[in-house]
Chain A
Amino acid sequence: EVQLVESGGGLVQPGGSLRVSCVASGFTFSSYWMSWVRQAPGKGLEWVANIKQDGSEKYYVDSVKGRFTISRDNAKNSLYLQMNSLRAEDTAVYYCARGYRIGQHWGQGTLVTVSS
């Protein structure tokens, strides 16, 4: 059974940093693109970033370019999102999802709150 479990969310002040993680199981992690998608409270879904199987390609939505970095450790079946210079508008549930086009497999999400 495919499982994606996010962690690392929490309360952070504006301008601060946070790293969220996603541990994958039930499939060959190194064979798949992985994505981060976020959802602000009461709002819709927004794709944030994705990363190729070997980490050689990474793409971001414009609003996080230069502030967020997606990475992965295939030996640990783990996906990461390093978030710097956080803003109030980054407050959201962050989901990891399997695949370039996303689709079936999502984690349960981790809440990141940016507030003073």
Chain B
Amino acid sequence: DIQMTQSPSSLSASVGDRVTITCQASQDISNYLNWYQQKPGKAPKFLIYDASNLETGVPSRFSGSGSGTDFTFTISSLQPEDIATYYCQQYDNLPLTFGGGTKVEIK
């Protein structure tokens, strides 16, 4: 199984800050990576596919990059509504696997 290691597990930042989350795959997954945002009590919201493609309607302050084993998710200017937990997910191989999540809080 492909292990997805996300870091940090939590972070605290100020409104307007640039926030970066990393996701490392245990083997090469090319660019077969999704990113999601999840707020408490809600289903995950799809943000990015193929590592760097923004889903329609997602604000441009969100971005993703990377390929192979190392990936980055960035919020260019943190907004209060971005408080959530973020997950990466690989779809190169079954079983599909998710990172452990990064909880983003406002400082």
Q: Count residues of A near B (Cβ-Cβ below 8 Å).
A: 21
- Complex Cα distance, B49 from A103, in Å, reads 8
Number of interface residues of B (CB under 8 A): 22
When each residue 88-116 of chain A gets 1 if its CB lies under 8 Å from chain B and 0 otherwise, what string results? 00000001000011111111110000000
Contact A45 B98 (CB under 8 A): yes
A-B contact pairs, 16 of them (CB 8 A): A35-B96, A44-B99, A45-B36, A45-B98, A46-B98, A47-B89, A47-B96, A47-B97, A47-B98, A59-B95, A62-B95, A100-B91, A101-B96, A102-B34, A103-B46, A106-B44
List residues of A whose CB falls within 8 A of some B CB: 35, 44-47, 50, 59-62, 95, 100-109
Chain B residues proximal to chain A, CB less than 8 Å: 1, 32, 34, 36, 38, 42-44, 46, 49, 55, 87, 89, 91, 94-101
